[in-house]
Amino acid sequence: EDLACFRDIKPGAPHHYLVVPVEHMGNCKTLKTEHIPLVKRMMEVGKAVLRTNNFSDLNDIRMGFHCPPFCSISHLHLHVLAPASQLGFLSRLYYRINSYWFIT
């Protein structure tokens, strides 16, 4: 369809996936209100991939976007990490909820 999902090459958690629109989009700063359905679908795909990979505790996940200039690529991608309770020290910093570099 219009979204792809794959494992992160440098996982920050036992389950770490990226959900990416097939059509190029800049980054989270380019999102507008009309993109809300897209972001919701990205989140649903992330949850579905977790369930497919036998992870069912959706209360122990973290999803979000890195903000520029903290993006390694300039294509919108949603990080899906689980279990959030098993994030290491550096991952807790790197994927910190609603920090100025990672927004949920």
Residue pair 15/80 in contact by the 8 Å Cβ criterion? yes
Nearest Cα to Cα of residue 40 among 88, 78, 72, 70: 78
User: Out of 15, 16, 66, 77, which one is annotated catalytic?
Assistant: 77
Nearest Cα to Cα of residue 3 among 21, 30, 25: 21
10 Å CB burial of residue 82 (0-12, 13-18, 19+) is buried
DSSP 8-class letter at 43:
H
Our answer to whether residue 24 is catalytic in this structure is: no
Residues annotated as part of the active site: 77
